[in-house]
Chains A and B, each alone.
Chain A
Amino acid sequence: MRLVYLLFFLLAVSVSNAQIAGYMGKRCVIGYSNYFMFAPKGPGPMSAEPSNEFSATFNNAHCLNIEYALNQRKMICFSGQYIRTGIAYDDGKVGDGFFAGTFNYETETPYPNNNRYVGIYSKPALLSSINVALGIKSFGNGFIAPAGRYNKFEVILMFETVKYDNKNFEHQDPNSGGFVTGNLGTGEYAYNNVSVAYTVGKQRILGDKIVLDYGLRFAYTPAANIVTLAGFDTVKDIEDYYRRESRMRMFRQQLINFHVGIGFLAF
């Protein structure tokens, strides 16, 4: 049903005898943008170091945009985005305190219930997010959408998924002091999040057809809702752990990023 509404909208706007010029009569832009997200502490989705010490890198968000000029200086923008990045495994020094006689899980253990990761550190957990964004591009004084300088405000709904290697965890048996290999959580969790973004950018039209878009985006993704690990429910806690990690990563990466996009004037 939603598709019907969308098609009806597209049909209506394409045949309406509008007083909005667009560019050479074309008001709808379909395009692809790549957001370069600077990750100062890494990791990228595939480029982790063989430890949890990662070098700075860029992550990418692939973005498919549909934009439509509502009036001379405003465009409504709908976009679908896909982000893929990594969350490094922590090399938690579980057990160090026990052997020293000062047993303290909370300060030493990143994972719930005294677990530590023993898998391949260089292959981090995968965080992927499919985002849906709705925004308004407001072109500067004198410009006519879709050409020229713009400010864009958008709200982004993020549907995040974290996949991690849940089979390579071991926890220390408090009785024997020995380490027992076992599963930690389900290996995959999904989270929802929301973000607000502000972009300053510029669009150029090449050859009256191709739309070139570039700019800088500032996005705020709430990361404050950090859950404190309960320490009793292993599965619940690891889910909360990755929720926190996922939000922190999104917060950091979306905070400042730049994009380059290419598209075409559809109608």
Chain B
Amino acid sequence: MNKSIFRKSAMVGMIALLFSNVIYGQYDSDYIPLKSSGDLPEEFLKTARALSQEDLKTIGYGTDRIAKEQFIISSNYYLRDLLLSGDVLINDALGNYVNKVADELLKNDPELRKQIHVYVTKSPDVNAHAFDKGFIFINAGLLAQLENEAQLAYVLSHEITHVVKKHSVNQYLENIKLDRGTSNYETGSYEARNIAKYRFSKDNESEADVEGLVRIKGSGYSIKALNGAFDVLQYSYLPFELVEFKKSFFEDEFLILPDTFYLKKTSEIKSNDDYDDSKSTHPNIRKRRGAVEADLIVADESSRKKYIVSEEEFKKVREIARFESCRLYLIDRDYINAIYAAYILLEKYPENVYLKKIVAKSLYNIAISKSGGSRYKSKYLSSDANNARLSSKSYSIPDFEKIEGASQRVYYLLDNLDSKELNTIALSYTYKAYKKNPNDLVLSILSDSLFSEMVNSNQLYLNDFAKSSKAQLLAMDTAKVVVAIVDSTIEESKYSKIKKQQQKFEIQTEENFTKYAFVGLLQDPEFVKRYTKAARGLTRKEEVKKDNLTYKERKKIEDQLAKQNKDKYTLLGVEKVLFLEPFYMNVKTIGGNNVVNYFVSEEKQVKLGEIQKKCADKLKLQYEMIGTKNMTTSDMDRYNLNSILNDWLTERFNHGDNSDELIVGTDETNKLIEKYGTKFLAWSGIYNEKSRSSHNTYFFILFNLETGEVMKYETRYTKSKDNTDLITSFVYNSLMHVSKNPK
């Protein structure tokens, strides 16, 4: 009997161990970013108009009907925009788990459960939000920080209260009344009424906290565990773990970072939970905690659980969310957080190539920004084809003094390294990662780019690096030192003797740690070969520093560059282009306020897509629209493709005019380029505003998915209605310059 129990326990233990290995073991070598799967839910296929029409039937004919109508139309437009943005995950591991928790939470209220649609969104922010229509979105960043399933249930319960109580529409209606001075909530001055809007929002949040707790009490979840949920919110600005950062992360036997780069003591975490919340939509954490504190003690706590669905699944989901967060930080150009998050995970999965790529890409981007930026930055494109440029968005490392906790050391280290040092570290890290994963294209490309940066931006050549370590060189006699450092063919002479003495002295006093950084790597013939190749391919011309020039001098240089690039960029000779769904916004100015005409915008967006198709056909330009219009339930591939491209585009725009910096989605976009046979991605749109007269702003932008380079960027502003013929002429003109056979 005892043996049997023991055997069973052992078996269970084995299975649990095996299962945990399955959970964590799958990330030992790589991680594949989250994708949606299965069929597309019905809600994703409806237009904003269709979604609104359902809701408009329910609002009655009261005095506030018009305001309600406006709210419904605008919220459904933004809901649909979010659903099809590619940020929402469908049938993924995270979403499935979160829905299981929602099932558990609402198992006694099946009617409400039917109204609630829970999805996980690809955002690193520690947040969740709800639409009155019943859609709840939990950010991956929040899942990465939660401690247990009960906390997730509480977050869901809080958001469900917002849905049930229709907080969004109530806030909207109250805001209108407060603006007009007809609200009973606050009748004072304009300033007082403005503050009252925040107060009203805070009241809603408090209600959601309290009601959410009531709902949780009705479930089997631990109440005690919920207190930590407020800690999650309070410390949400910190990374998901606090792990001491060791500079050895970037070091090897020969590349040793001086201690001066290592912050001795990090700042204490001093988050204040009693901050001024008078102009905040949420009460401060102390108030929120205080409002429910008394209710967190329940008699039946012992029978309650932190996990009802599955502890293993929660931990697996949290781990995935943490992996995903690394990538999302990168998209947001939050490079230090990306490195630190990857560092934390690399402690557990030291050979994970995905994490190494996160670090390598982040280092590359920081190195590029330190070395002065993009090689494409100074191209001034011809005015016919390109009359606009993306805004300049240079990256700079946030001030380390404002950072709290262990990650402060990463900020300090990377901020204090100069361009040459950072480039050296980035190359060392990336090349070593590449050598361990020689088939990884991204690491290979990154290494080559960093070799190029060494030569082009930092003027560091192979002979700037020692082939023997400092200790070895100091141990050698002077003659060998010179051989080891410089050249074995030096003849003995008065001058060589002087040189020997100088070299020995230099080694003793050398403080530049980068000199010995590649001692190990220089033993690798491939490293030497690729470095040499980069040095031979030194092609980048030194840019003229334009900061000190007069306007006329600068204009002259710009005109010359524009002339040089005119032929190259006016006609691009492209055969096939991938198009993202166009943007269209129709706005009317009524009483000084811009009111979006959502239905018209949605319809004209479709029309713009049709115009693009018509013009492309006329120009015999192969046209592939990666849109989300007219999808069916089986169009998940299209949905995922749109998601990849939107991620790519978001990050690309975050980089502004700096296209040297690597785009996160390089792996996915390479596959996409192969699948569709083109590396060109176009996006265009129109903003039409009508006040006294109509104004149109049209834009067209063409990217090279491979390099991130902006091939064409055109904007047109016209004082006119958005007539079809006008738009057609704009679109045709843009595509003509793109297409192979313009006429």
Chain A contacts to B: CB under 8 angstroms: 17-19, 21, 23-25, 71-72, 140-144, 147-149, 204-206, 208
Assess whether B719 is interfacial by the CB under 8 Å rule.
yes
B615 interface residue, CB < 8 Å from A?
yes
A23 B729 Cβ-Cβ under 8 A: yes
CB-CB under 8 A from B723, the residues of chain A are 204
Contact with A along B371-415 (1 / 0, CB 8 A): 000000000000011000000000000000000000000000000
Q: How far does the alpha carbon of A141 sit from the alpha carbon of B698 in the complex, in Å? A: 12
Minimal beta-carbon separation of A24 from chain B (angstroms): 5
A205 to B303, CA, bound (A): 76
Minimum CB distance partner of B725 in chain A: A205
7 A-B pairs in the complex with CB atoms less than 8 angstroms apart:
A19-B736, A25-B618, A142-B717, A142-B719, A144-B733, A148-B729, A149-B719
Please report the C-alpha to C-alpha distance between residue A16 and residue B610 in the assembled complex, in whole angstroms: 28
Contact A17 B726 (CB under 8 A): no
Q: Which 4 A-B pairs have the closest CB atoms?
A: A142-B718, A205-B725, A21-B733, A142-B716
B125 CB, nearest partner CB in chain A, Å: 38
Q: A19-B384, A24-B615, A141-B717 are in contact. Are A147 and B571 (CB under 8 A)?
A: no
Does any Cβ of A come within 8 Å of B570's Cβ?
yes
**CB-nearest residue of chain B relative to A19?**
B570
With CB as the reference atom, state the residue of chain B lying closest to A27. B743
User: Shortest beta-carbon distance, A72 to chain B, in Å?
Assistant: 7
* A208 touching B728 in the complex, CB below 8 Å, given contacts A17-B742, A25-B736, A143-B720: yes
Please give me the residue from chain A that is nearest to B570 by CB atom: A19
Q: Chain B: how many interface residues by the 8 Å CB criterion?
A: 26
Are A21 and B726 in contact (CB-based, < 8 A)? no
CB closest chain-A residue, reference B741:
A17
**Which residues on A sit within 8 Å (CB–CB) of B615?**
24
B277 CB to nearest A CB, Å: 46
Seed contacts A72-B384, A72-B733, A149-B720; 7 additional CB < 8 Å A-B pairs: A21-B733, A24-B615, A24-B732, A25-B743, A142-B696, A142-B717, A143-B720
> Are the C-beta atoms of A147 and B732 separated by less than 8 Å?
no
Min Cβ gap B331→A in Å is 33
Q: Which residues of A contact B307 (CB under 8 A)?
A: none
- Which residue of B is nearest A211, CB measured? B725
The answer to whether B742 and A19 touch across the interface, beta carbons within 8 angstroms, is yes
A265 to chain B, nearest CB (A): 11
Residue of B717, B719, B726, B730 most packed against chain A (CB within 10 A): B726
1/0 contact string of B107-126 vs chain A (CB within 8 Å): 00000000000000000000
Complex: A35 Cα to B730 Cα, angstroms:
30
Most chain B CB within 10 A, of A147, A149, A204, A208, is at A147
Interface: B737 (CB within 8 A): yes
CA distance A223 to B728 in the complex (A): 45
Please judge, given known A-B contacts A141-B717, A141-B718, A142-B716, whether A147 and B742 are in contact too, CB under 8 Å: no
Give A202's nearest chain B residue, CB to CB.
B720
C-alpha spacing A71/B383, complex, angstroms: 12
Contact A148-B733, Cβ < 8 Å, known A25-B743, A140-B719, A142-B716 = no
Q: Which of B659-709 contact A (CB under 8 A)?
A: 696, 698
**A206 vs B698: C-alpha distance when bound (angstroms):** 21
Contact partner of A19 among B571, B698, B717, B729, CB < 8 A? B571
Complex contacts, A21 vs chain B, CB 8 Å: 729, 732-733, 736, 742
Contact residues in B for A147 (Cβ distance below 8 Å):
725-726, 728-729
